[in-house]
Amino acid sequence: MGLISLVWGIFAMLWMVLALIPLLGWGNWFLIPFAAVGAIIAAIGIALTSREKRGRAKAGLVLNGIVIIVAMWRLGLGGGVI
């Protein structure tokens, strides 16, 4: 689960960089739920793995959390959230 959430977070981070380009900000509407699913997968990975093997899941949770925050900020900045 940790590796899946980490790869999910990296893919979401790449998508976020693309969605920062003007006229592609509509991608943030799809990016937020996508990153939320990745964060849920990471939380499940943290809950189900032993203490020594939680590093990847924690990294995936942090990456997906950053993506969600930046995407929400970008939507607010561009007027996407009314």
Total tally of structural domains belonging to the chain:
1
Residues ≥6 apart with Cβ < 8 Å to 25: 19, 74, 75, 78, 80
CA gap 53, 81 in Å, rounded: 38
Query: Cβ–Cβ contacts within 10 Å for residue 60, how many?
Result: 28
pLDDT given for residue 81 in this prediction: 64
pLDDT digit string (tens) for 38-71? Answer: 999 999 999 999 989 899 999 999 999 999 999 9
Distance separating alpha carbons of residues 19 and 73, to the nearest angstrom: 12
Domain coverage including residue 35: 2-78
As a whole number of angstroms, the distance between CA 41 and CA 45 comes to 6
- pLDDT, mean over the chain: 91
Mean pLDDT for the stretch of residues 8-37: 92
Check residue 70 and give its pLDDT.
94
Q: Which residues contact 40 (CB under 8 A, 6 or more apart)?
A: none
